[in-house]
Structure formats: C-alpha cells, structure tokens
Structure 1
Amino acid sequence: MLLLAISGLAILGLVFLAAIWAGSESDAAALDRQRHLVNDRLEDLVKRVSQEIQMIGAGYASFLAADPAVLEEKIIGPNRGSGASSAETFGKIATTAFGYNAAFLVTSSGELALNADAETARRFKWVRPLLQPLIHDLETDQPQPSTSAAKPSRVQLMRLEGRPSVAGVVSIKGASPAGAHEHGQGAQFYLVVFRFLDGATLDTISREQGLAGARYARTADQEHNEVAFQIAATGSGEPIGFIIWEPDLPGSRVIGRLVPVLSIAGLIIAGLFFALMGRLRKSLRELSASEHHARHLSVHDVLTGLPNRALFAVHLVQCLPDLAPLRRRAVIALIDLDKFKEVNDSYGHAAGDELLRAAVGRMSALIKPGDTLSRFGGDEFALLLPDLDEADNVYLAICNGIIDELSKPFQLNTGDAAVRIGCSIGIVVIQDASHPTNELLRRADVALYEAKSSGRGRLVEYDPCLDHRVEARENLKNDLRLLLEQTGEDPGLQVRPSAAHVGRLEVYYQGVYHGDGSGRLSGAEALVRWHHPTLGLLSPDKFIPIAEESGMILRLGEWVLRDAAQSAASWPAALSLSVNVSPSQIRHRGFESHVLSILSEAGLRPSRLELELTEAALFDIDERGQATLGVLRSHGIRIALDDFGTGFSSLSHLIQFNIDRIKIDRSFVSLLGTKAEGAAIVSAILGLSRTLGKATTAEGIETEGQKDFLVAAGCSDLQGYLLSRPVPLSEFRKKIDGVQVAEDRATMNVAAQTVSA
C-alpha cells in the first residue's frame, strides 16, 4: 500500500509539473498576442489619423480656394465675414465628428492662420514647440508637385499636455487675396490635429481588444497581476506612457482549476493509506460519540439544549438528602409562558421556536451555574435552586427577575415583529426529603395554577390551603359534569329531583339598546348562570374555564344555544339574540349543522342570531373553523368580535373572518369621562367600524355621560348596567312586553291623528 501510494503521488507530481509548464507557455503566448494586438491597434490608429487629416485638409483647402478673403480677415480684425466663420465651423468637425481633442490651421512660420479665442491661442502656444518639428520635417521633405490627390502629411505618437497623444500635420495650399503681399499666390498652410490616447480612446481600445481594467499611467506601476505596455514616441523612441491592464491568462485559469483536482486526488491516495490504519480507532470513537449523544438527547431538550424532565428529577433527588443535615433548603419553580400560543399561531412555529430560545437566554442569565433550568415541554419550564440558606429569600428575587425579563418585548427575526408574552410561576420550598419528587412537583403545579388563574404575570408560593382550592375546583368540575349529564338536552329550567344536589343552569338575558338615543330595545345577550346549592349563583367566569379544560364546553354551549333560541323565538321579530361560542365549539366537526338544526327546531330565523367570539378565540380557529363560520354566515347568522382591542389584536381578523359586528370592551368604555385617552380610543374604533361597514356595540355602560358620548359618536348599539342588568327570562319578558305596549300605543296615536286629519 505504501509503494502504491508513493507511485500514485509521483505520477500526480509529474502531471502537475507538466500542467504548470503548459499553462506557463500558454500564458506567455496569450500575453504576447495581447501586446501585438495593442501595438497593431496603435499602428492602425496612426494610419487612420493620416487618412482622416487628408480628408479634413482637403476640406480646408476648398474653403481657402473658394474665398481668399478669409486670410485677409485675419489681418483686418474683428469684422469677420462668412468665409472665416465657415472655415472655423469646418475646423470644429475635426474635434466633434472625428473625435480630435484639438485642430489648428497654421502658417509655415508656425502662427495661427485664423483669429482664435484666448483659450485656443493659449493651448496652441503650449503645444507649438512640440508640433513645430513636424511642420519643419514636412517642409523639408515635401515632394515635388504632382497630380496626386494625396497631400503631404506627418503622423507621430508623442506626449502633449502631459498625456500620450497621436498628432498629425497635413499641408494645405491656399490662394492669397489680390493686393496682399504677405502671402503670394499658392501660400502654404498646415492643418495640425492631435488626439489623446488615454480617456475615450483607451476605453475603445480596451473594449475592442478585451483588455480587462485597462488604464493609462506615466510610469510602469502595474500590480503583480497586471502587465504594462510601453507607448514610445515615434520621433525619439522615448516612452510617453504605459497602458496597464489585467491580462487574460488561459493557462493560469486551467492550472487554477486543475490544481484542486490534482490536490484532492493526491489527498485521496494518501488518505486511503492512513484510513486503513485508523479505521478501527475511528469506528470506536464514532461509537463512543454516538452513545454519548444518545445519552445526552435522552436527558436534554433538542430545541433549547436544557435538561428535560428526567434529568431535572435526577438533580432534584440528588439534592434532597443533604438539605436537613446541612440546614439548607431547595426551591422548585414551575414557569409557564403566557400568550406563547398566540405568538406561535400568529407567526408560525419557527417564530415560536425563536421565542423559546430567547426566553431561555433571558432566564439563564439570572441563575447561578449550580442551578438547573429545565424544559418540561411546550412552553413550560422548571427551575431548581438546590442550595439555599434557611433564611435566604433570594429565590423570590430570581423569580421576580424572570417575570420582569419575560414581560419585556421580544424582537423576532423570523416573524419580523416585536411581541410581548410574560410568565406565571408556581414555587414550592423544600426543607427535607420527607416528600417524594412527584408530590413536590404536584405542589409546584398547584401553585402555578393559582398564579395563572389569579391573573397571570405573577408568582405564587405553595401553601396547603391551595390544595383545598384545587379540591374545590375538582368538586365543581364533577358537579358540572353530573349536572350536564342529568340536564341532557332538556332546555327547560326545571331540575330533576336527582339533580337537586348539583343545582341547575339558567340563561339570563341582558338587553341591548339602539344607539340612536331612543332607548328602544334591539336585542339581548344570553348569559348562562349556575344556581349551585352550596356556592349560590355562579357567573360564567367561575365554571366556563373548567368546562373548556375538561371538554364539557361543547355540551354546555349547545344547551345554552337551544334554551336561548327557544326563548327568543317568541320575542318580537325585530329583536336579535347574541350567544357566546368558544373555539372548541367552532372547531368541532358538524357545529354548523347543530346550530342550524337548533334554530330550525326552535323556529328562530338565522338572521336573528349573532354568535360572539373573543379576539383570543380567533387564534385557536383553524381553516376548518373558518369554513364553519363561512357556512353559518351564508345562512344569515352574524358573527361578532367580543372584547375588541384587549386580546392579541390583528385588524386582518376583521376581514379574514368576515366579522359583522365589533363589541367595544368595557375597559375602554370605563375610560370615558375619566381619561382623555378613552374618548380617543373609542372614537378610533367607531371610525374604523364605519369605514369597514361594521356594526358596533359598546359594553359596560354605567353612566349617563358614557351613554351620551357613545350616542353622539354614532355607536350602533349600547349595553351595560345603566340600561339593563342580566335578568332571568321572566323579568326580561316584562321588558319586551313594555316595549311592545309602548310601540302599540305609538302606532295607535299615529293612526288616530291620521283619521282626525
């Protein structure tokens, strides 16, 4: 194997050397060809100048022969005739049409033959000493007159005005005017032109010859990857400048592409030899690393890299035995992120993952190296502080610091948005190892639930009395389950004798009034109440969350809708019915069929029903839920957005879910008359609703001032304790009857007035 490796490397070395030699020869040939092309291009430029000045000189000669007075005007002065203007105009052709930088008509003595402006005279004065030798050579070597059309001329490369140039001189015969003695018949003139080789001319050469990055320099100051071509003066052979460019070297390109291939081939041959020797050791290392990685994944979270529940339990068990002997204590803190689901649903799982990593970074910055921060799953974390002094309350400062840090905005690159979440924390303090780990985690979970149910964004330390609350909550859940089982689909308010110990459900109705100031009733919102035998009258906030968590909300919501629909069917046709629904109901397969079936059985027109959803509920509605809402709206049922502006708001929901009504939350209405911001917020919501063509209902009206402002602002409907409290059906029927009687009396009065008239 060693001999084969050496032979292969030797062959590759020979190939590599041959490639370098061939590439060098190719580069030399390419560079020589480019130099010849540049030299040929300059020679072509000299020939072209020689041909062009012949044509320009012939034009001048025709003007001078046609109007001999042109020369006399130089002597006369500023009274210039048409001949001089024509001659000067023709002279400008050399600088515009032919691209020369300057053109002069000169006498044999080296003076300008025509009047010129100060700038032209100054320029000619500077270049005259350099151009005069060309005129002198042309006079000395001028051939005998002949019939040939070609005029004597000279073209040379030289430096003019500090720049490389090609200059040309052509002889012109002119006729002298009668009576003039300075110039006899057949006076001799010379047309002198020059063009700079840098600038536009160099750009043309670079473009035609493919010279990459061509530039002019007075000295050969090329970089290591550039070449310089010397421009020599025609007369003296002295360098007048250099054309510098980056040459096209095909050989180097080939070598550049071939070297990596050859290098890789050599490395492969060498690697094969060493690979055979190290294969066994490498396999052992890979096996060990794989085992270590698998062991790491088994006790760590993949997304955040934190310890998982299993490793957290190990650390907890390890710290418990030393607490009592050392008079130390430990703390478990369960941390649950608030509003994480809304962010995850709004901006996607990638944004949710980014948010989790950012939250972990903030929490990790607040704990010590010996503490354990673990992810239990989803948006739930656990913190173990294993070594605290008995009188040390630093854990409270750490947990409050976590709450403060997580309540600050998070800038998400994935969703390109800034979001706020927050967290709730449940704490249990451990004094000894008398309780198993499962019991300790249960206590922390009880404290966490208390923190979440009491308003979120806070921490609660475990107390034995919390167990009584949990027990009471479990009892209430069991009572609700038993109540729904016994109630069944019977919407009546009578309770069966066997269900007396769990109470009964009843639907209350809160009136909704027109916002035109007339005080007319426009409808009612159905609100369920639970008459509990020991706890009294329970409002929905006491048992609706329990129904949501335990999956009983579907049956409860269906019962409320059926009872309310049967009651509203006997109301006047102008009154509408509003019923709250949850995301679980919307997502449930066949929900739209159940709603339409209930309305059909009750005899209530779908156009009189309005389903209310909260802003938070919209984030839990998937495509199936959107389709369900679309079916309901197609049958005339209206959709209202409750608590507008208090949730994780998005104006796109007003369009995406085809919202028919916006309900202004009571928290904004309560600001009216107390804070200036209240009027601005309410007015903005009303203006937005009018622009989008949405109806509005203001909730929580408790003062006349609030009502008057909302009426003046154009709110569609009003609702609140000032107008009507939630009351049982029997009392609400009295309100309906009163409204009906008032309307009948108003109708009879109008009819009587009509008859009298």
Structure 2
Amino acid sequence: MVFRGLGLQIVLPSSSKTFQQSWIASGRILFLIAVSGLGAIGLVVLSALWAGTESDAAALDRQRQLVNARLREQVDQVAHVIGQFGNGYLTRVYPAARSSGGSSSLDAVLTAAAGSAISQTAMSAFGYDQAFVVDEKAQLLMLADAQTEKRYRWMKPLFLPLLQDARLGVRPGTVSNERTPSSMESRLASPGRSNTALANLMRLEGRPTIVGVVAINDPEEGQRQTMRQFLIVVRFIDGAALDELSRQQGLNGARFARTADADENEVAFQIDATANGEPIGFIVWRPDLPGSRVIGRLMPALSIAALVIAILFSVLLVRLRSSLGELRKSELHARQLALHDVLTSLPNRALFAMRFDECLAETKNSAERSAVALLDLDRFKAVNDTFGHAAGDELIRMAAERIHSLLRPGDTLARLGGDEFALLLRDIKDHDQVLPAICDAIVAELGKPFPLLRGEAVARVGGSIGVTVVPDAGRNADDIMRYADVALYEAKMGGRGQWRVYSPSMDGGRNARDILKNELREVLAKGTASSADGPQSDPIANKPDFGSLEVYYQTVHRAEGGGYSASGAEALVRWRHSQRGLLTPASFIPVAEEGGLIDALGFWVLREACRAACKWPENTFVAVNVSPAQLRRPNFAEEVFAVLQESGLPPSRLELELTESSLIEDNSDVYTVLKSLRSQGVQISLDDFGTGFSCLSHLLRFDIDRIKIDRSFVSQLGTKANGAAIIGAIVALSRNLGISTTAEGVETEYQRDFLAALGCTDLQGYFFSKPVPLCDLDSFRTAESAVA
C-alpha cells in the first residue's frame, strides 16, 4: 500500500505483507469455522436420518421374516392337517378303498363315490379351495363335473412330481432316503403308518398355491397288490388366506402381484416355488416404518432448530468478520502512523531509517555519493511559548512545505520529532553545486517570515543544518547520524541560520556538549544529595554554580461532570542554568541520555514528584515520565517501590508515562517490569499516542491504564476533519477497552468542550494551566494548607 504526503511515496515495509498473510489466514479460519458449523448441523440431521433409516430397515426385515415364517407355518399346517385327515380316514372312513383291488365295475363306482366324499369333506371341513382323489398316475378316482375335470387336466402335470415324491413313504422302522424338505416344503409321517403327507408351495393358474398330497390307502402285507390312492388338496394364498395373513401380521394393504410393481411407499416380498425355486409372485404391502414416522414428526422441529442455529451462527460469523475488519482498519491506521508524521504527512524516523539503510546498502560497492543532513528550526520554542502550540504546529507544517519545495524528486525529507528534520540527498557529485545550493536555499527560505494564525502573528525563526557526506564519513548508520548531529551543533554554536558539513576537526567542537554534560552531572549530583535530606528547596537560594534542577507541574483536569476540577498533575523537569537561563528538557535530555545520566535524572524527578503529591488531595495523582533506558533496568520496579515507601505516596496515586518506543524494544523485559508495577497498583499511561509505532497489541499486552492523545491531533480540531475523526476513534477504542484518555494541548474553550463531548476523561493544556513551579500550583494550594 502507498501513502502520499507532500509528493512523497511511502511504501509499507514487509510487515504489511505479513499482516495481509495473517488476514488471509483469519479468513481461512472463518471459512473453516463456517464449514465446521454447517458440517455439525448437517451431521446432526444426517444422524437422525440414518437412525430413522436403520430403524425402518430393521422393521422391514422383521416384517419380511414374519411373512416368511407365516407362509412356512401355513405349509406345515396343510401337511399336518391332510396327514391327520388321511390316516383318520384310512382307519375309520375308507377301509373298503384300502383293501379293495379295484378290479370290478362295482369297486370302481364305490371308489369314485368314496373319492367324491373325501374331496367334499376336505373342502367343506377344512376349507381347502380344491381337493382331488387320484391314483399313482394322477388319474381322478372321484366323481366330478365337466368343469372340475377340465380344471384338473390343467393342474395334472404339476401334480405328477408330487405324487412321485409321495409314493416314497416307508413303514416305521425302515430307513428312508427321501430328500430334506426345502424352506417352503413340509412332510409329515403319521405315527404307526407308512403314509407321508407332503405340502409344497407352487403356482397354479397363475396364483400362489399350497398343494398338499397324502396317500389314503395302504394295503396290508400278504394281500395282492392294489392301486395306491392319494388325496390332493389346494389352498390359494392370494385371497382370503392373504387377507388373514395381512390381519395377523399387520401388513397394510397386502396384495398379490405377479411382478414387483410396488409403489414408492410399498415393499414387495418374493414367493418362490418349492420344487425348483422359480418366482411365483410377490406379496406387496405398505410397511410400518417407525423410523420414518418418528423422523416425520421430528423433522419440522429439527429443521426449525437447524435453521435457528444456522442463523445464529451466520450472525456470529458476520459479527466476527466485521470485528476483524475493524481491527484490520485500526491496524492499517496504526501502521500508517508508524511510517509517517501525523502533523506534516512526511516520513517519520522509522521510514527515514529504512531508506537510509537502503541507501547505504546500494552505495556499498558503488561510487555513488549521498548526503545526510539534520535540520533544526531556530527559536521554535519561543514561538510555541508566545503564540501557543497551534501556532507552533502551523509553523512546522509551513516549514516542511518550504523545505520540500526545494528538494529534488528523489530526495527524502523526514520529520524526526519536534522541530527536527532529516534530509537524505542521493547522487551527490564531487564538483557540482547541488548540495550547497539546496542547503543555502533552505536556510534562506527558513529565514523568511512565517505568517501564523491566519495572519494575526508573524514568526521569524530561521534554521540550522548539519551535513555529512556518505561514504566520506564512514558506512555505519549510527556514526553518520552522529556526525551530522555534530555538524548541526557546530552550526547552532556558530550563530544559527547557517549550515555546516562535518569534518573530523569538529569532534573537538563537541567540547561544548561535553561541558553541558559535565555541568548536568554536577548539578544532578548536588540535587540528589540535597533531596535526600528533605523536600525540594528554593532553587534560587544556595544554588550551585551551574544552576539547579526544578520540577514544574502542569495540572490535569477532569472532563466529566462539567466542573473541570484538577484530577492530578504531570511532573516536568527544568534546569535553571546560571548562564543560559531556564532550560527545557529538549535542551538537556539528549545530553543526559548520551552521558548515561537519564536514570539518575528520572529518579530524582520521581522522588521529588512523589514527595510533592503526598500533600495533594487523596483523589489526585501525579504523572512522571519514564525513559526507555529506565524501563530496561531489571530492578526498575523495586526502585519505584522504594521511592513510594520513602515518600509515603500510595502506589495508586502514581502514574508512569511511557512512550511507545519504549514498548517496542525488549518487549519481554518491559512486560515483566510493568506487570510487577501494576501488581502493586501503580498506574501506566501511554504518552503521545498515535505519533509513534502505535500498535494496538500494546494496549492489551501491557495492560495500559491511560492513553494520552498527542497535541498534534488536538490542534487540528476546528481546522481539519481528520483530527476529530482520529480523536474520536482513539476515544471509542479506549472506552471499549476500559482505558482512560487524556487530551494534551488544550488551548481553547472550543477544544475543551469538544473533547469533553467526545468522551475524553481528562484534559491538559495551556487553557487550564502552563507548567508552573510547585509553589505556584494553585489548584492544590487549599489542600496543602489544610494538611499544614
């Protein structure tokens, strides 16, 4: 992604690519969650359907087994009944037929009459559909009308195999070699007789039929051979028998069909012939399917439940995706802030460092020469103090525009912070006048008047530039920047409003800075020794040769409720130098950091602030700035606790202000220190939020209690819509995370009311109070008097 500011293209570093990859991964996770949720719902539905299908299959299989068993039972019943009937008739009803030779006409008539009687008895008494008395050759031995004889002729070929099988009957005690009955075939040997009753399932006249055969005469031994006679009975099972079967087995709408023409909601059970296994037909019925019945009752409720779950899940996914989108926008905005300056839209220190490293890498093995310049606005502090921060910000923007207008397309202008700028000038020739021309033009342009506040004020500041040429000054980035700083210091010491190119001889000129460093060390040593004996003394009396350190306080006011009462104060260090006057931190903090004095200076301010805050109202706090170097100290938390115990200030009334740069370095160590501080109740605030590497994860990982909105955003209220939008976003984010917000740089009543309406919890700025010594801090004077 490309950002444009003052004609410069700012390209996001490779971390944006990593963020895009993480965004894609988040999308994939959302997709997997959606698929998993839908799969779970589908699995529940499929499980219910599967359970119902299995239940239906089991019920259907059971019904088929019952039908098969019932058919077998009917076949066995026919065999049993005709077996009993045949034996009973032999002994009681038909003795003549059993002993008669059947040779005379009278015997034939008697046999036919007896056969008719047997047939009628079988049909009337036992309910068979047909009954025939025949001999071994399947000839009728009974009186029958023409229709019966005609019907029998069609059936005769099917009866012959049964008669041949029936003639295999043997006497009791002998071995029989007859085959084992099939699944639909039944044999019954009567006790004490050799007659065997046989029942088979076959198709007669296109209908499923049970046919039973039993011998009805049995010649005794010693008699001449007589003709064997058999009773054949027929029972059709597609009529009344099927209706009975349907009632007994619960076969709804059972019917017989020659083909499997079952409807969609019916099943067909195939009936096979006993003799050869050929299909006879099908019994078709509507099965009782409990699984489908249960599913039919549950499916509406299950469908509604699945729909509700799907809707809720969809809403959750949409909400989650929206939250990820908002987080993505916030992260992109944070990355934008990490790479460009909010006030001027110029590249910031981070982007300048990346471009400078790229320049060094490209010129390492080439003859190309480049120049690095550091630029400071002269007398900028006086403009801020005289006209306010709004005028100072306007001056910064105008100076950036003027400087940029003088640069070439390939040059880089960056704002490092405050009124400090950096230049990267590529492709500088040995004998051309590009570098002198650019530097002279910048100095001349910055020396012109700056109309501020819509023409109500005019500022004359000027600028100083320190330049170093690459690779003349070396190839190490830190050394090159240090050389440019030395050249800038020489330009300032030479009277300001000029530019200097670094030369090795300038290192001797660093004595001025070294002198300032030594003076600060001596002042700090004396100040620390005196503060160990008691509270801060009068800075004028008994002051050392190089002056003394003082702590000024700028009050912080509550925005809620409309009263704007003081809720606390921020401690700000000043150096009242004996020759240079009152120095602000910007004049000596860099010297303290370079000389390793920042830790001692920071703890001196902390001790003095805690002592002073003990006399303030109990519901107020004191805020103290902490440098990154202090946070890197492993025992920093223990030293803070020692100061609190010494002064008697409750930990909850101390607020330590950090910069985001201090959170970027040594994350693990800083996290441990801050966790220890917060465990005892010390409050943690994030200073100048939005102007550094603003990563949202810092707010959660380090458990920040307060965000301080930078004055550069506040100054844009009423002039640029972006300022209000950014502040509103920060306040909304803080409110959702339960974090307090303090807006810095409040200088007008409009800004105060607007920030209070946006939801800022506290306000700070010249509108309420400038930084003042402790003796001039009127906001807490009543409380101090009461304590005294």
How does the TM-score come out when normalised to structure 1? 0.43
Q: Structure with the greater relative contact order (CA < 8 A, sep ≥ 6): 1 or 2?
A: 2
Larger Rg: 2
